[in-house]
Amino acid sequence: MFKYFQSFSVIMSSALTKNLIELEREKVLNEVKERLNQKKDPMKIFEECKQGMAIVGERFKKKEYFLAELMLSGDLFKEVMELIEPYLGEKKTEGNIKGKIILATIQGDIHNLGKDILATLLKLEGFKVYDLGVDVNPDIIVEKVKEIQPDFLGFSSLLTITFDPMKKVIDKLKEAGFRDKLKILVGGGITTSLVKDYIGADFQTIDAMEGVQYCVEIINARVVIRARGGI
Range with lowest mean pLDDT among 2-11, 164-173, 200-209: 2-11
Q: How do residues 149-176 score in pLDDT, each as one tens digit?
A: 999 999 999 999 999 999 999 999 999 9
pTM, two decimal places: 0.78
The H-or-E segment that residue 205 falls in is strand 203-205
Q: How do residues 51-85 score in pLDDT, each as one tens digit?
A: 998 899 889 888 999 888 988 998 899 899 999 98
> How many alpha carbons lie under 13 Å from residue 103 in its C-beta half-sphere?
27
Distance CA 221, CA 225 (A): 6
Beta-bridged to residue 130, according to DSSP, are 102
All structural domains of the chain, each given as residue ranges with its CATH number in brackets, are 15-88 (1.10.1240.10), 94-227 (3.40.50.280)
